[in-house]
Chains A and B, each alone.
Chain A
Amino acid sequence: MDVESDVALDILITNVVCVFRTRCHLNLRKIALEGANVIYKRDVGKVLMKLRKPRITATIWSSGKVICTGATSEEEAKFGARRLARSLQKLGFQVIFTDFKVVNVLAVCNMPFEIRLPEFTKSNRPHASYEPELHPAVCYRIKPLRATLQIFSTGSITVTGPNVKAVASAVEQIYPFVFQSRKEIL
C-alpha cells in the first residue's frame, strides 16, 4: 500500500475569482449606456461587464469595487482586471488600479481510481462530512489552508481555496487518504 508520490496528477484550474478597487465612484448608468458588453442590474445596483479576450465576467459596483470571475489562472485574472480597468478609464472615469486580490480559486482533479466514500468518511471523521441525501460527494475541509475539497465516488475531486498554491497543497494532502479508500480494479 505504498503511496506513490511521483504520480503526476493534472490539476485543472477552472475558475479564479479576484477583486480590485478603482478608487473612484463609478456612474453605473453611464457605464450601462456607453460601455460595450454590459448588463445593468438596476434592482441590485450593479453592472456586469463581460470581456472576450480573457473570458471574464466582472461585477462592478458604484462604489468602485469590482469582482472578476471566470479566469483560468492568476495571471489571466490580473490581465483581465487590468483590461477592465482600462476600459473603464476609456469611458472617462479616473480609475486607479488598487487592491488587487485573488479571493477564490476553483480547481478540478481526477484520480485514476474510484473511491469508497463511506469508508473514507469513517476514517476521516472530523474533517470529512458525507450526506448522501443532500449531496453525492464527501465534503472535506482543511482548516489551516482554508480549502474545501469535494470528493466524488468516481474519483474526481473539486477543490476550492484562497489561492493556487493552497489548492495544490490541498490535493497533495488529500492524496494519501484517498488512496487508502480507493476501489481496487479487479
Chain B
Amino acid sequence: MASTSRLDVLPRVTCPNHPDSILVEDYRAGDMICPECGLVVGDRVIDVGSEWRTFSNDKATKDPSRVGDTQNPLLSDGDLTTMIGKGTGAASFDEFGNSKYQNRRTMSSSDRAMMNAFKEITNMADRINLPRNIVDRTNNLFKQVYEQKSLKGRSNDAIASACLYIACRQEGVPRTFKEICAVSRISKKEIGRCFKLILKALETSVDLITTGDFMSRFCSNLGLPKQVQMAATHIARKAVELDLVPGRSPISVAAAAIYMASQASAEKRTQKEIGDIAGVADVTIRQSYRLIYPRAPDLFPVDFKFDTPVDKLPQL
C-alpha cells in the first residue's frame, strides 16, 4: 500500500487526537490517514492514478493513460495547443478532393524558431553521436541565449552550433571547432564569433582544453590499441608540462604525440591519416613533431614497449 505524503497547508481536517500531525494521503484508497494513530480522517479523496491499467505483456504501443506528446515545458513555452489533424474518413474531403480544414493551425508561433533550432541541434548531435545530456544542455543554453535576445541578429544555426560546442565543453568532453563545423553548415569563423558572444552574454566561462580530452576519440578513430593511446596521452601531457610547444594549439600537440606514439609502436600511422582525423594540417603536425622530437626519450612512459626504438623514430 503505497502512500505519498504531501506537505499540505493543513486543510479543514485534522486528526482529532493529534491536531499537529501532518496527514498522510493514501491516494490508492482515497484516504487521509493520521500517522500517529492511524485514524482515517478524510475519505473519498479523488483518485489521481491512471484511468486505464496497462499490463507489461500488453504489446499495444499506445498507452491509453497518456494523452498528447511528451511535454517540453522547460524549453518551449507550454505545450497546450490544439492542432487539427489530417482527415481520415470520406467526409473530411470536399468536392475537388482537397481536404477541408486545410491548415493544421500554426502552433506556438512565438517559439517556432526555437523549436526549429532544437530540431537542428538534435540533428547535429545525432551526426556525431552525442548523448542526450549534452543535447539537453545545448537546448537549455540555446533557450537562455534566445530569451536574452542579445544575439538576435545572428543566424539561429550559428548560435545552435556554438551552443553545442559550449555544451560539449561544459560536460568535460570538448569537441574541436572543426568537428562541429563538420556537422553544421556554418563556418568555423562564425561559430567562433558566436561562441565568444554567447560566453559574454551568459557571463560564463569555460575550462581550457587539454590534450587528454581528445586522445581517446582520435586514437579509436585511428584504430590504435590502448597501449599506444596511453603512450600518446603521456607524451602530450609531458610535452605541455615541459612547455616544449608554447603557443601551439592542444589539438596539434595531441596529433603530434599520436604520431610519435604510433611510429614507435607496431601500429604506424602516417601524418596525413592523423591530420585527417584530427582536422589538423599535416604540416602543422610536422611542426609540432619537430618541437617534441628532441626530447622524445623523456616523453615516453617508462613501461612502453618499443617496436621501433626511440633513436629510429622518423625525423621530419
Contact = CB atoms under 8 A, between A and B. Distances in A.
Given A129-B199, A132-B209, A153 B192 contact: no
B208 A122 contact: yes
Contacts of B14: none
A76 interface: no
B194 to A, nearest CB: 12
Interface in B274-307: none
Contact of B208 (A114, A121, A126): A121
Interface in A125-153: 125-126, 129-134, 136, 152-153
B196 A154 contact: no
B92 interface: no
B170 interface: no
A153 B247 contact: yes
Contacts of A116: 243, 246
Contacts of B192: 131, 133-134
Interface string A110-121: 000010111001
B208 A130 contact: yes
Contacts of A121: 208
A133 B246 contact: no
A183 interface: yes
Describe A's contact surface by its main secondary structure. loop
A95 to B, nearest CB: 37
A124 to B, nearest CB: 11
B155 interface: no
Interface residues of B, number: 16
B227 interface: no
Interface in B145-175: none
Given A116-B243, A154-B247, A133 B177 contact: yes
Interface string B177-214: 10000000000000010011001000001001100000
A183 B246 contact: yes
Nearest to A130: B208
A125 B206 CA distance: 10
B80 to A, nearest CB: 41
Contacts of A117: 246-247
A125 B192 CA distance: 19
B108 interface: no
Interface in A18-55: none
B91 to A, nearest CB: 61
B208 A129 contact: no
A134 B181 CA distance: 13
A118 B246 contact: no
A152 B208 contact: no
Task: List the 8 closest pairs (A to B, CB-CB), nearest first.
Answer: A153-B247, A153-B246, A132-B249, A134-B192, A136-B247, A133-B177, A118-B208, A133-B249
Interface of A: 114, 116-118, 121-122, 125-126, 129-134, 136, 152-154, 183
Given A129-B199, A131-B195, 4 more contacts: A130-B208, A133-B176, A134-B177, A153-B246
24 contacts: A114-B246, A116-B243, A116-B246, A117-B247, A118-B208, A121-B208, A122-B208, A125-B205, A126-B205, A129-B196, A130-B208, A131-B196, A132-B208, A132-B249, A133-B192, A133-B209, A133-B249, A133-B251, A136-B249, A153-B247, A154-B246, A154-B247, A183-B243, A183-B246
